[in-house]
């Protein structure tokens, strides 16, 4: 895990750095959760989550204000010397000079936010969960089709980029071509994005590199997208039995999460863009409670039952 720098946290959450003498580029966060050190300020350090972002809310701040100077020195020393990565004061409650001096002594960045404690805490956790999520890179193309994240995979040269380009011309949005970075942000959700260096570019054999954002406009691209389904392109094999009904979903797995997967055989004359569009709409329909394959199966069963009755 590469970690997230305190500088990135400051920029993302619009925080004010109060200890400007500390280099926040060299301090990294490796844990997505946030701790409110109320018990620690009272002297209890059992099970202390010192690797987390420490957040001082109104309750903790009020308690700090009621301490005597001797208690402040003792409690601040103990908290700030415990190798915490940083500490944030919410609701524009500025710490005193004593706190800042001790924080500077132990090289602990102190930041200030005007946001209220609970919304700030939730926002930090949400963002860090994404930034620190387990990540893999795979070869493929990710496109937003009718709001569904469709990951197109297959061997090199099979036509993934060409299918993506046709989808873009039909009004859908490119997320990434060639390399897709996949993050596991929860046990149900995988989010895909493009590496910074290749973002908004498509490679077409025989033509070269195309800048989709410049060619088709900003409405044709997207930076991130949850991955809802996988379309795996493969060469047509006349001896292979392909699924023609789709009664049962097939899955592939990334980072322990299962994603619906369709294996699409490729042969001349098949319009890949329309196939991908249809797969996305059909998947959307299933999520809304309608399964066309199941409906056809039920009709056949009802028809057979009527024949038996006759």
Q: 30-37: long-range contacts at Cβ-Cβ below 8 A with a sequence spacing of 24 or more?
A: 30/1, 30/3, 30/132, 31/128, 31/132, 32/125, 32/128, 32/129, 32/131, 32/132, 33/125, 33/128, 34/121, 34/124, 34/125, 36/60, 36/117, 36/121, 37/79, 37/87
Mark the binding-site residues for Mg(2+), compressed into ranges.
161, 203
Residue 192 β-bridge partners: 182, 225
pLDDT band at 235 (very low <50, low <70, confident <90, very high): confident
Task: Say yes or no to pLDDT of 124 above 70.
Answer: yes
pLDDT, residue 226, reads: 94
Residue 244 known to be catalytic:
yes
pLDDT band at 307 (very low <50, low <70, confident <90, very high): confident
DSSP label of 219? G
Residue 47 known to be catalytic:
no
Cβ atoms of 289 and 160 closer than 8 Å? no
pLDDT, residue 53, reads: 96
Of 66, 244, 267, 307, the active-site residue reads 244
Beta strands 16-17 and 110-112 are antiparallel
Residue 310 known to be catalytic:
no
pLDDT digits (tens, 9 = 90+) for 265-302: 887 767 888 888 888 888 888 888 877 777 777 888 78
Q: Domain 4-131 belongs to what topology?
A: 3.40.1390
Mark the binding-site residues for ATP, compressed into ranges.
154-161
pLDDT, residue 1, reads: 55
Mark the binding-site residues, compressed into ranges.
154-161, 203
Of 139, 169, 258, 299, the active-site residue reads 139
Report the distance separating Cα 169 and Cα 63, nearest Å.
Answer: 60
Mean pLDDT, the chain, as a whole number?
89
pLDDT digits (tens, 9 = 90+) for 25-54: 999 999 999 999 999 998 899 989 899 999
Domain 135-296 annotated CATH 3.40.50.720: no
- Residues of the chain above pLDDT 90, percent: 61
Task: Say yes or no to pLDDT of 305 above 90.
Answer: no
Report the distance separating Cα 59 and Cα 38, nearest Å.
Answer: 8
Task: Say yes or no to pLDDT of 212 above 70.
Answer: yes
pLDDT, residue 11, reads: 95
Q: Residue 306, class by beta-carbon neighbours within 10 Å (0-12 exposed, 13-18 middle, 19+ buried)? A: exposed
Which among 1-10, 110-119, 150-159 has the top mean pLDDT? Answer: 110-119
Nearest to 90 by CA among 67, 58, 122, 46: 58
pLDDT, residue 85, reads: 95
pLDDT, residue 21, reads: 93
pLDDT digits (tens, 9 = 90+) for 237-273: 777 777 766 667 788 999 999 999 988 888 776 788 8
Name the residue ranges covered by the structural domains of the chain: 4-131, 135-296
Task: Report the range of poorest mean pLDDT among 10-19, 40-49, 136-145, 233-242.
Answer: 233-242
pLDDT, residue 283, reads: 84
269 vs 84, residue with greater confidence: 84
Of 78, 178, 249, 284, the active-site residue reads 178
pLDDT band at 207 (very low <50, low <70, confident <90, very high): confident
pLDDT, residue 295, reads: 78
Residue 284 known to be catalytic:
no
């Amino acid at each position: 895990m590469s970690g997230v720098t305190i500088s990135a946290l400051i920029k993302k959450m619009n925080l004010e750095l109060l200890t400007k003498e500390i280099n926040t580029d060299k301090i990294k966060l490796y844990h997505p959760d946030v701790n409110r050190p109320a018990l620690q300020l009272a002297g209890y350090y059992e099970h202390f989550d010192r690797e987390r972002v420490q957040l001082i809310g109104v309750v903790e701040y009020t308690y700090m204000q009621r301490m005597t100077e001797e208690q402040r020195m003792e409690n601040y020393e103990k908290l700030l010397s415990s190798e915490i990565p940083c500490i944030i004061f919410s609701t524009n409650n500025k710490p005193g000079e004593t706190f800042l001096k001790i924080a500077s002594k132990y090289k602990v960045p102190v930041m200030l936010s005007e946001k209220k404690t609970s919304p700030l805490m939730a926002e930090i956790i949400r963002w860090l969960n994404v930034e620190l999520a387990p990540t893999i890179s795979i070869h493929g193309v990710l496109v937003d089709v009718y709001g569904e994240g469709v990951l197109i995979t297959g061997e090199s040269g099979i036509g993934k980029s060409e299918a993506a380009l046709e989808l873009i011309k039909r009004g859908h949005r490119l997320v990434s071509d060639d390399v897709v970075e996949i993050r596991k942000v929860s046990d149900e959700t995988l989010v895909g994005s493009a590496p910074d260096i290749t973002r908004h570019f498509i490679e077409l054999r025989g033509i070269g590199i195309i800048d989709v954002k410049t060619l088709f406009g900003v409405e044709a691209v997207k930076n991130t997208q949850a991955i809802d389904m996988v379309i795996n392109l493969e060469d047509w094999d006349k001896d292979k039995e392909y699924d023609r009904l789709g009664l049962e979903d097939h899955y592939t797995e990334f980072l322990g999460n299962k994603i619906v997967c369709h294996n699409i055989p490729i042969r001349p004359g098949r319009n890949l863009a329309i196939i991908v569009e249809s797969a996305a709409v059909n998947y959307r329909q299933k999520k809304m409670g309608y399964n066309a394959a199941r409906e056809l199966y039920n009709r056949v069963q009802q028809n057979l039952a009527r024949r038996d009755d006759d």
